[in-house]
Amino acid sequence: MSGLPPAILLMGPTACGKTAAAMDLATRFPVEIVSVDSAQVFKDMDIGTAKPDRATLERFPHHLIDLVTPEERYSAARFREDALRVMAEIAARGHVPLLVGGTMLYFKALRSGLADLPQADPELRAAIDAEARLRGWPALHAELAAADPETAARLAPTDAQRIQRALEVVRIAGEPLGAFFARQAEAAPPYRMLALALVPGDRAVLHQRIAQRFDAMLADGLVGEVEMLRSRYRLDAALPSMRCVGYRQVWDMLEGRLPAAELRDRGIFATRQFAKRQLTWLRSTPGIAIIDCLDRQSQATIARFTEQHVSRS
């Protein structure tokens, strides 16, 4: 590991101060910022994604924002491919990749890789379900044990959903689930990564920040932004872009499903729920150094971690 180039991962829930911390690091160290945000990849979605403004981007350029239109889809697999390409370019310039954001699935994909499992086959799943009705799930579990004993050993004979998926993979690919996950483990990125997370010591303060931020988005024209997107692009409520927090609530209001008087409260509530999921992931994931974002010395602490990590290279 000591011979690998360094990379810094700066994670945290929405409204915890990641952007400010990243810009502080960029004034201290030769880093280049890489966005890890599944909403900021969309062009013309600026207000509701809290995308840095033009002046900020001119001073602190961000990689991996404004990649696709709101009509398109962008996956964790594509992020990993794009991020590794950009990180290699940054390292070749003698700089350190600083990956900043709150899309935890993207961080997981980058750090752990993605098992390239076969896509679900509805017809095959229906056939397996039919077999289960005739023979019972314990019989199919026994079949799985013959083809993929490692997976079967982890599953109860009545775990229908997981037995179905494991059998589906075996029948489509001709190899067990474990083979896919072994290849995934071999796909670790060639970097010595330092994972840092900004986490509030007082959840109530984070909730206040979320409310203030959503109020600022409304004042800056979030509703008008969604109206512009609807007129410029062919969108529907099922697209990932319009499922983003804030955009979903404005869409529902414009469609008449949400009273305008409830927009603010619904948007704040949805953002708080999103932050809760982010915090749950961070606290349950090993290998991440937790820093209280409410501590006045948090940026100095991040800088100290970074200096120690970069100096080891």
Tens digits of per-residue pLDDT, 184-224? 655 678 999 999 999 999 999 999 999 999 999 999 999 99
Q: What is the pLDDT of residues 163-173, one digit of tens each?
A: 999 999 999 98
Q: What is the pLDDT of residues 121-157, one digit of tens each?
A: 999 999 999 999 999 999 999 999 999 999 999 999 9
Q: What is the pLDDT of residues 33-81, one digit of tens each?
A: 999 999 999 999 999 999 999 999 999 999 999 999 999 999 888 999 9
Give the Cα-Cα-Cα angle 268, 269, 272 (nearest 5 degrees).
Answer: 85
CB atoms within 10 A of CB 242: 21
Q: Among residues 102, 77, 85, which one has the least CA distance to residue 9?
A: 102
Alpha carbon distance 125, 141 (integer Å): 15
pLDDT band at 113 (very low <50, low <70, confident <90, very high): confident
Does the pLDDT at position 1 exceed 60? no
The average confidence (pLDDT) of the chain is 94
- Sheet (strand 192-199) strand order: 62-63, 31-36, 96-101, 6-11, 192-199, 289-292
Give the Cα-Cα-Cα angle 111, 116, 122 (nearest 5 degrees).
Answer: 135
Does the pLDDT at position 102 exceed 90? yes
Between the alpha carbon of residue 148 and those of residues 126, 134, 158, 161, the distances in Å are 21, 22, 16, 16
Q: Calculate what percentage of the chain has a pLDDT beyond 90.
A: 87
User: Lowest mean pLDDT: which of 68-72, 247-251, 282-286?
Assistant: 282-286
The enclosing H or E element of 58 equals helix 54-59
Q: What pLDDT is recorded for position 6?
A: 97
10 Å CB burial of residue 195 (0-12, 13-18, 19+) is: buried
Measure CA 17 to chain center. Answer: 17
Tokens of 1: 């590991």
* CA count, 13 A, side-chain hemisphere, 30: 11
Per the rule left: phi > 0, alpha: psi between -120 and 50, beta: everything else, 244 is beta
Q: Among residues 229, 182, 199, 155, which one has the least CA distance to residue 15?
A: 199
